[in-house]
A and B are shown apart, each in its own frame.
Chain A
Amino acid sequence: MIPDFEYAFYVWTSYGIFAAVIAWQFIQPQLRKRRIEAEVREERALQTGSYE
């Protein structure tokens, strides 16, 4: 299943770096969005006194 390459370390490390950076570009904005939304809800709850 996993191809047996010559220079395998260099090839797989490169693809690994690519995958890690792309995954971070996908995940980081989702985490930030969640954080901002939670902060906004917190601020609103503090103003209104309602945590519903």
Chain B
Amino acid sequence: MIWKTIKVNFHRLGSPPTFYRLAEVLAPWLWGGFAVCAAIGLYQALYVVPPDYQQSDSFRILYIHVPSAWQAMAGYVVMTILAVIALVWRIRTVEIMAMAGAPIGAAFTFICLATGSLWGRPMWGTWWAWDARLTSMLVLLFIYLGIMGLYAAFEDRRKGARVACILILVGIVNIPIIHFSVEWWTTLHQGATIRLFSGESTLHESMMPPLVWMTIAVKLMFGAALLDRARNDLLDQDRRKGWVQSRLGETA
């Protein structure tokens, strides 16, 4: 019974007006959650946590660099799941969601690369090194930009989305490469400090709370921005359809 209700509600999300309404309700809550979590996380990161004994205050960059890097990769995994659903079941709202994830993922990848560079300069003595972790992250940025470009290159948006979904599936190979790059090759970038599933984290527990808050914050932000962008794409594509006309008639 419950399973059937979940299934029916899931299929309802394929309906553009239902999806639009849901996104309209959910997005402000996610933005609000992001604002609260980010406020707590940033306060702790900048005022509460003591400086690192080796890296001093420069280690505070970790609180935006690491959550952004995780989100850049997690966002890609989410897009891959959406791309599989879009290609198999041809659900238009899912295609739109998969495409909407690319600019947000690219933004997080850019933050990760830029803040990594700003952290690397005082600690490594260089802005950039062609090591495996940095290069594979740069490749991720190019993949995101490629997906956006490919989607925009087609006049038929659905055709463009399907082709870009295939590129998403091809690009997923880069995610394990990024994750294991510090183990497979000798890199300037340090190995994993925080281990969620295996082994012990080497980050001191006093430094952990802001990282947790910022990680939750960027995840909520990804969700909010994804819904905002997907809603706009839907509005743009369906601008001549009755449900958009009647919606705008209500809000005019």
Q: Which residues of A contact B (CB under 8 A)?
A: 3, 5-8, 10-11, 13-15, 17-18, 21-22, 24-26, 29-30, 32-33, 36-37, 39-41, 43-44
| Residue B184 is within 8 A (CB to CB) of chain A in the complex | no
Number of A-B residue pairs, CB cutoff 8 Å, is 86
Minimum distance in angstroms from B44 CB to a CB of chain A: 12
Subset of 27 A-B contacts with CB under 8 Å = A3-B47, A5-B51, A5-B56, A6-B51, A6-B58, A7-B56, A10-B122, A11-B57, A11-B58, A14-B65, A14-B118, A15-B46, A17-B111, A17-B115, A18-B68, A22-B221, A25-B104, A25-B225, A26-B31, A29-B225, A29-B229, A32-B232, A33-B232, A36-B239, A37-B248, A40-B245, A40-B248
Q: Could you tell me if A18 and B252 are in contact, using CB atoms closer than 8 angstroms?
A: no
Interface-central residue, A14, A22, A36, A39, by most chain B CB under 10 Å: A14
| CB nearest neighbor in B for A24 | B107
Known: A10-B61, A11-B61, A25-B104. A40 touches B244 (CB 8 A): yes
Docked complex Cα distance between A17 and B115 (Å): 8
Q: Which of B57, B64, B114, B239 is close to A8, meaning CB atoms less than 8 Å apart?
A: B57
A18 and B111 within 8 A (CB): yes
- Chain B: interface residue count, which band? 35 or more
B residues near A39, Cβ cutoff 8 Å: 239
Q: Using Cβ atoms and an 8 Å threshold, which residues of chain B touch A26?
A: 31, 225, 228
Whether the pair A29, B239 counts as a contact (CB closer than 8 A) is no
Give the complex CA separation of A11 and B118 in angstroms: 8
Known A-B contacts A3-B47, A33-B235, A40-B244; A10 and B119 likewise in contact (beta carbons under 8 Å): yes
Chain B neighbourhood of A5, CB < 8 A: 51, 56-57, 60
- Bound complex: CA of A38 vs CA of B141, how far in Å? 33
Contact B61 A14 (CB under 8 A): yes
Which residues of chain B are within 8 angstroms of A6 by Cβ–Cβ distance? 51, 56-58
Q: Does B155 contact A (CB under 8 A)?
A: no
Report whether A10 and B58 are in contact in the complex, using a CB–CB cutoff of 8 Å. Answer: yes
Check if B236 is an interface residue, CB within 8 A of chain A.
yes
A11 to B62, CA, bound (A): 10
Question: What is the CB-to-nearest-CB distance from B228 to chain A, in angstroms, rounded to a whole number?
Answer: 4
In angstroms, how far is the closest chain A Cβ from the Cβ of B26? 14
Q: For the complex, give the distance between the alpha carbons of A43 and B225 in Å.
A: 28
A20 to chain B, nearest CB (A): 9
